[in-house]
Amino acid sequence: MNLKALLIVVSTLCLQPICIYAQSTNTKPWPNKPVKLISGLGPGSSMDLVARTLAPTLSEIWGQTVIVENRTGAAGNIAAGIVAHADDDHTLLIAQNAITISASFYPKLGYDIKKDLKPVTQITSMPLVVVVNNNLPVKNLKEFIEYAKQHPNQLNFSSAGLGNADHMAGELLNAKTGMSMVHVPFTSGALAINALIAGDVQMYLPGLPVSLPQIKAGKVNALAVTTGKRSNSLPNTPTIADAASLPGFSMPLWYGIFAPSSMPDATVKQISADIGKALKSVDMQTKVGSTGIDLVGSTPEAFKSFVNGEIELWAEIVRSRNLKPD
């Protein structure tokens, strides 16, 4: 081998470690910067409680700050649109039933839940609670239904926003019982229940974290829960199915995490697994689980199947009830 050939071989061997090192430094583990968790509901909502309890635990697992950002409006669709069109893989969405309702309820969303978002994991499930103003002359759900029928279009029910789960639960109850309550939307669960306490509306269907403190304080009257079984947090409160003789009535409130469709599947699986670990933390068990919220944790595949089923369910209800945004 002549001197020129020898120098070429030596220089090639010397450069290989540099190339390998350069490649390894360009492949950074996820996350490599702060993560945004976008919420479509405002402070005071049960979803905000879950998000802000989950964020510090995820920060510890990931070694990066997790920032909860409230972008309220349009039943969470402003938040969903932000994440659907995010140009990085460090923005996540926490959403509830409303995101699957919106797919058929709103004709023009600006995003497609199936094309623009990837389901990551379902994190919680809980009942909504039928709570009424204390001044109403009713003791149970049957009496309330009869009272509402005697006063058609005179009773109002509040929600945290048009097309949200609490709104649709009220509409579903109207449909199943023959009541004609009028919907009054607010921008948060806190405002919606404050309106109930003040007597501006007569009924509301909030999640447990919003309703339970007010029920225990005697500020509102709990008549029923929307799930198929009673809540451990409200053992003396019957289900709607039993209280109103509506067999099979069940509408749990759930929260889940979604990612932009551009996020790699491997990263989605990692996030799902990490959230599963976070749900087992002391903070999540004591601050969230103790309120009667069931902590779920599911694979991306299982959550995708669940979400698709919810989309089909609400599409049928929206069609049959001819529900439209105001």
Same domain, 50 and 197: no
Which pLDDT score, from 0 to 100, does residue 31 have?
A: 97
Single residue among 243, 271, 300 that ends a domain in this structure: 243
Q: Quick one: residue 68, left, alpha or beta (phi over 0 = left, psi -120 to 50 = alpha)?
A: beta
Same domain, 155 and 194: yes
Which pLDDT score, from 0 to 100, does residue 300 have?
A: 98
- Mind spelling out the 3-state secondary structure of 190-254? HHHHHHHHHCCCCEECCEHHHHHHHHHCCCEEEEEECCCCCCCCCCCCCEHHHHCCCCCCCCCEE
User: Which domain, by its residues, includes 154?
Assistant: 129-243
Which pLDDT score, from 0 to 100, does residue 209 have?
A: 80
19 occurs within a structural domain: no
Which pLDDT score, from 0 to 100, does residue 9 have?
A: 47
Which residues are 52's β-sheet partners?
Answer: none
pTM metric for this prediction: 0.80
> CA dist 35 to 55, 85, 161, 297, Å?
9, 16, 27, 19
Single residue among 192, 216, 243 that ends a domain in this structure: 243
The CATH number given to whatever domain includes residue 237 is: 3.40.190.10
Which pLDDT score, from 0 to 100, does residue 188 have?
A: 80
Chunk the chain into consecutive blocks of 10 residues (it has 326) and report each block's average pLDDT, rounded to whole numbers: 50 48 56 96 82 97 97 90 94 96 91 97 96 98 98 95 88 92 89 97 92 95 96 95 94 96 96 97 90 92 96 88 80
Which amino acid does the sequence have at 256?
G
Structural domain total, the chain? 2
Which amino acid does the sequence have at 59?
S
Distance CA 93, CA 96 (A): 10
